[in-house]
């Protein structure tokens, strides 16, 4: 699938969809940690109701296997401990168990099939279980089918610790991209029907993954800059996705999500919506999505509750975007990538 050109204001201004009820547009968030990091006790007991009230019916609930081995640092986030064998898998298992209990108690279903994604499009709350980093595999493919059976449908290759998969944006490169295991993992994730997330990966890793994957892949969260982030850059700048790499992900049929760290795009809900419009200009309306990183960012995030994404949808409407464009960005692009990954699963 090739990205479509969609230049706002370049030729003909968009006409707002008159009379559109924004509450009818479902919302998906491709990267969210609600309650997993900050333990928002006011939100978690009523998560299902919050999703219904805000119209967010597809939420990537993202667990972090390396959470106990990283910490904030002067340069951003750094590895502070080397995990012993089995510790990453144990961390993953504990977090996944907690998430499954929380979802069950809140009446939020888990995405497992294409039919589930379709139900989410109708406004029924679903979570796409996601692992931020394939570290839990600990360099082996043995656990992948088990993770699939547990409901994992979205896996980010790397996060903040050195690993067996590939290089990450914030550390000195070791593999010049993906390791051989990382390349094998791309094939295995395709075969298993799990969506591949390239966030935190280097440009070289992106190139190699795109050459291997048979399914579209995503970059769930960060922001697009003129040049890709360098591991020597400080803070959020190391996490930038270069325009060239973003366009290559889009050209392969994938999508890029915008996080909510205001300093990276100017701040505020309107600033977030304005940056979404810029991304649409760069990549096409079929390749942009929300990836808020709620509860996973430091101070300065502009998406701090689920209802804030509904405000973004309202802001996009006020900017004159057509309903079909808003629907694509707000829900359909992430949903399409999940469905395609599931559909391409080998029996």
pLDDT tens column, 236-278:
999 999 999 999 999 999 999 999 999 999 989 999 999 999 9
CA–CA dist 29, 213 (Å, integer): 23
Distances (CA, A) of 67 to 81, 96, 322: 10, 13, 40
State percent of the chain over pLDDT 70: 90
Q: The domain that contains 164 carries what CATH number?
A: 3.20.20.140
Would residue 129 count as lying in a domain? yes
Would residue 6 count as lying in a domain? no
Q: What is the pLDDT of residue 254?
A: 98
List strand residue ranges (DSSP E) for the chain, in order.
Answer: 27-32, 56-63, 70-73, 76-79, 109-110, 126-132, 152-156, 195-197, 218-219, 224-225, 241-242, 255-258, 288-290
Would residue 149 count as lying in a domain? yes
Distances (CA, A) of 66 to 135, 187, 224: 7, 23, 25
Would residue 7 count as lying in a domain? no
Sign of CA dihedral 137, 143, 144, 149: negative
Would residue 282 count as lying in a domain? yes
For 208, the enclosing helix (H) or strand (E) is: helix 203-212
Query: For residue 334, how many other CB atoms are within 10 A of its CB?
Result: 29
Would residue 9 count as lying in a domain? no
Which among 197, 177, 144 has a CA at the least distance from the CA of 341?
Answer: 197
The CA-CA-CA angle for residues 239, 71, 297, to 5°, reads 50
pLDDT category of residue 227 using cuts at 50, 70 and 90: confident
Q: How many domains does the chain fold into? A: 1
Tokens of residue 16, six digits: 């707002």
Q: What is the pLDDT of residue 202?
A: 97
Tell me if 77 sits within 8 A of 158, measured CB to CB.
no
pLDDT category of residue 4 using cuts at 50, 70 and 90: very low
Axis crossing angle, helix 87-106 with helix 47-54, rounded to the nearest 10: 70
Residue 9 has pLDDT above 50, yes or no: no
Residue 135 has pLDDT above 50, yes or no: yes
Between 30 and 48, residue with greater pLDDT: 30
Q: What is the pLDDT of residue 43?
A: 62
How much is the pTM?
0.92
Domain residue limits at 99 = 22-343
pLDDT category of residue 76 using cuts at 50, 70 and 90: confident
Q: What is the pLDDT of residue 309?
A: 97
pLDDT category of residue 40 using cuts at 50, 70 and 90: low
Would residue 215 count as lying in a domain? yes
Q: What is the pLDDT of residue 267?
A: 84
279-306 pLDDT tens trace:
999 999 999 999 999 999 877 899 999 9
Q: What is the pLDDT of residue 12?
A: 30
Q: What is the pLDDT of residue 24?
A: 81
Between 42 and 134, residue with greater pLDDT: 134
Query: For residue 270, how many other CB atoms are within 10 A of its CB?
Result: 16
79-110 pLDDT tens trace:
999 999 999 999 999 999 989 988 888 889 99
Residue 177 has pLDDT above 50, yes or no: yes
310-341 pLDDT tens trace:
999 999 999 999 999 999 999 999 999 999 99
Mean of all residue pLDDT scores within the chain: 90
Query: For residue 322, how many other CB atoms are within 10 A of its CB?
Result: 17
Axis crossing angle, helix 203-212 with helix 243-251, rounded to the nearest 10: 10
Would residue 325 count as lying in a domain? yes
Entry field: residues in the chain: 347
156-174 pLDDT tens trace:
999 999 999 999 999 999 9
Q: What is the pLDDT of residue 11?
A: 29
């Amino acid at each position: 699938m090739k990205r479509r050109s969609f230049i706002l204001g370049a030729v003909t201004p968009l006409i707002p969809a008159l009379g559109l009820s924004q509450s009818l547009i479902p919302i998906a968030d491709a990267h969210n940690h609600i309650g997993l990091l900050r333990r928002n006790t006011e939100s978690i007991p009523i998560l299902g109701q919050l999703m219904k009230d805000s119209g967010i019916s597809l939420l990537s609930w993202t667990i972090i296997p390396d959470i106990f081995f990283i910490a904030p640092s002067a340069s951003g986030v750094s590895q502070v401990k080397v995990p012993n064998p089995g510790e990453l898998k144990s961390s993953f298992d504990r977090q996944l168990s907690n998430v499954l209990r929380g979802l069950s108690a809140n009446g939020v279903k888990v995405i497992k099939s294409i039919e589930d994604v379709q139900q989410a499009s109708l406004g029924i709350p679903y979570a796409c279980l996601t692992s931020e980093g394939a570290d839990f595999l600990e360099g082996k493919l043995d656990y992948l089918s088990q993770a699939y059976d547990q409901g994992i449908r979205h896996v980010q290759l790397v996060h903040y610790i050195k690993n067996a998969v590939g290089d990450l944006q914030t550390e000195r490169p070791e593999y010049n991209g993906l390791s051989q295991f990382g390349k094998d993992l791309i094939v295995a994730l395709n075969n298993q029907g799990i969506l591949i997330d390239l966030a935190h990966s280097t440009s070289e890793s992106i190139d190699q993954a795109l050459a291997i994957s048979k399914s579209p892949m995503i970059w769930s969260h960060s922001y697009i800059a003129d040049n890709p982030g360098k591991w020597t850059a400080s803070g959020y700048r190391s996490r930038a996705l270069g325009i060239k790499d973003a366009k290559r992900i889009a050209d392969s049929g994938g999508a890029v999500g915008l996080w909510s760290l205001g300093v990276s795009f100017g701040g505020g809900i309107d600033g977030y919506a304005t940056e979404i419009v810029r991304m649409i200009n760069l990549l096409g309306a079929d390749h942009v999505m929300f990836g808020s990183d709620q509860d996973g960012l430091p101070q300065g995030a502009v998406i701090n509750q689920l209802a804030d994404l509904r405000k973004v949808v309202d802001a996009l409407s006020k900017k004159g975007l057509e309903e079909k464009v808003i629907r694509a960005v707000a829900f359909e692009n992430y949903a399409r990538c999940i469905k395609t990954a599931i559909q391409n699963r080998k029996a």
